[in-house]
Amino acid sequence: MKKFLSLVLSIVMILGLVACGQKATTTTASADGTATKLVMCTNAEFPPYEFKDGGEFKGIDVECAKLIGQKIGAEVEILDIAFDSLIPTVMSGKADFAMAGMTVTEDRKENVDFSHTYQKAVQTIVVPSTSGIQSVDDMYGKKIGVQTGTTGDIYCSGDFGEESMMRYSKIVDGFQAMKTGKIDAIVVDDQVAKAIVEQDSSSFKILDTAYAEEEYAIAVKKGNSALLNKINAAIDEMKSNGELKKIVDKYIQ
In-domain check, residue 162: yes
In-domain check, residue 70: yes
Query: What is the per-residue pLDDT across 40-69, written as a single tens digit (0 to 9) for each?
Result: 999 999 889 999 999 899 999 999 999 999
Rounded to whole angstroms, the Cα distance separating 163 from 188 reads 19
- CATH at residue 51: 3.40.190.10
Task: Look up the pTM and report it.
Answer: 0.75
Helix, strand, coil fractions of the chain, as percent rounded to 5: 40, 25, 30
DSSP 169-224: SSHHHHHHHHHTTS-SEEEEEHHHHHHHHTT-TTTEEE-SS--EEEEE--EEETT-
In-domain check, residue 6: no
Query: What is the per-residue pLDDT across 190-218, written as a single tens digit (0 to 9) for each?
Result: 989 999 999 999 999 999 988 999 999 99
Same domain, 235 and 208: no
- Count of the separate structural domains present in the chain: 2
Same domain, 114 and 236: yes
Buried b (16+ CB within 10 A) or exposed e, 38-50: bbbbbbbbbbbbb
In-domain check, residue 12: no
Same domain, 197 and 157: yes
Q: For each successive 10 residues of the chain (253 residues), what is the average pLDDT? A: 40 39 47 72 94 94 98 97 96 97 94 97 95 95 96 94 96 96 96 92 94 94 97 98 96 83
Which residues form the domain of 147?
A: 121-214
Task: Output the pLDDT for position 9.
Answer: 40
Same domain, 207 and 238: no
Same domain, 141 and 57: no
Same domain, 181 and 225: no
